[in-house]
């Protein structure tokens, strides 16, 4: 007798709010750290999550995934639930040490035009992922294979927790060599404007430093 199958449609949401293309284009020019600071020092994803290869960068709306530990069936499903440009943001609980993603899934994600993967777990096929150019941020590398449990419950586009950060579907995800930040979709326009202003201030501060002023004087710390 076969095991009962879980219907993924019952925990998958497709109608999500995303930042506008114009806001995404503006965000793509901003560092993750600047967006974090401009938002009030929020949204830092676990720093153990790092780019699998140098030069990777991500900027796009989150499609959140909560997958059962040691199983990547929900990641496959998410590839086809996402729209072009979307970023898969995946929690696997604390079952980090499996190879949840590799060459086959990156090929599928590229074919779908997705914007990247951020996973609080491990992946494999590092050299191939680097060559393919689909940006993957992961907790590490692990060759341990995953399962495909069709009876297991997962979620796509539900609020998903990463340490002290909850990522909602459609939130802006920006990742670079310094880390990954998630900005609530309702605040994206405000945070981008603040980040652009911060970049301009920092450019002026660096000019003044090169011209001989001290950081203590510039920031009023010399009193």
pLDDT tens for 161-170 read 999 999 999 9
The band of 204, judged by pLDDT with boundaries at 50, 70 and 90, is very high
What is the C-alpha separation between 64 and 49, in angstroms, rounded? 16
In a domain, 3, yes or no: no
Q: Tens digits of per-residue pLDDT, 7-63?
A: 999 999 999 999 999 999 999 999 999 999 999 999 999 999 999 999 999 999 999
Residue 15 falls inside a structural domain: yes
Domain carrying residue 139: 8-218
Which SS3 state, helix, strand or coil, does residue 90 take? strand
C-alpha distances (whole Å) from 189 to each of 38, 54, 156, 162, 205 are: 11, 29, 25, 23, 25
- pTM of the prediction? 0.95
Phi, psi of 92 (to 5 degrees): -120, 30
Q: Report which DSSP code applies to 9.
A: G
What does the pLDDT average to over 77-94? 98
Gap between the Cα atoms of 87 and 135, Å rounded: 10
Is residue 55 assigned to a domain?
Answer: yes
Question: Which pLDDT value is given to residue 2?
Answer: 65
Q: Would 132 be classed as within a structural domain?
A: yes
Please give the average per-residue pLDDT across 95-120, as a whole number. Answer: 98
pLDDT exceeds 60 at position 1:
no
Mean pLDDT of 188-193: 98
In a domain, residue 2? The reply is no
105, 85 Cβ separation under 8 angstroms: no
Q: 19 in a domain, yes or no?
A: yes
pLDDT of 160 higher than 70: yes
Mean pLDDT over the full length of the chain: 97
The predicted pLDDT at position 38 comes to: 98
CB 43 within 8 A of CB 121: no
Do the domain assignments include residue 223?
no
User: pLDDT band at 222, cuts 50/70/90?
Assistant: confident
CATH code where residue 197 lies: 3.50.30.40
Is residue 96, in this structure, part of any structural domain at all?
yes
Q: Which pLDDT score, from 0 to 100, does residue 167 have? A: 98
Taking CA atoms, 133 is separated from 3, 58, 107, 120, 212, in Å, by: 38, 11, 10, 20, 42
The count of domains in the chain is 1
Q: Distances in Å between the alpha carbon of 137 and those of 40, 47, 75, 171, 221? A: 24, 11, 14, 17, 38
């Amino acid at each position: 007798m076969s095991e009962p199958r879980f219907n993924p449609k019952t925990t998958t949401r497709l109608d999500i709010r995303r930042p506008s293309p114009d806001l995404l284009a503006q965000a793509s020019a901003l560092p993750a750290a600047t967006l974090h600071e401009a938002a009030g020092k929020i949204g830092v994803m676990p720093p153990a999550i790092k780019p699998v290869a140098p030069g990777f960068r991500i900027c796009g709306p989150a499609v959140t995934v909560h997958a059962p530990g040691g199983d990547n069936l929900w990641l496959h499903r998410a590839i086809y639930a996402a729209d072009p440009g979307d970023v898969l943001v995946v929690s696997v609980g604390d079952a980090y040490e499996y190879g949840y993603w590799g060459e086959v899934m990156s090929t599928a994600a590229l074919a779908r035009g997705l914007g990247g993967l951020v996973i609080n777990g491990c992946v494999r096929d590092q050299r191939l992922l680097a060559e393919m150019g689909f940006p993957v941020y992961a907790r590490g590398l692990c060759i341990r294979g995953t399962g495909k449990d069709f009876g297991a419950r997962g979620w796509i586009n539900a609020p998903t927790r990463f340490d002290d950060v909850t990522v909602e579907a459609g939130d802006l995800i920006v990742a670079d060599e310094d880390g990954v930040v998630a900005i609530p979709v309702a605040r994206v326009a405000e945070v981008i404007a603040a980040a652009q202003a911060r970049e301009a201030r920092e450019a002026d501060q660096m000019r003044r430093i090169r011209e001989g002023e001290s950081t203590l004087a510039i920031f009023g710390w010399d009193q």
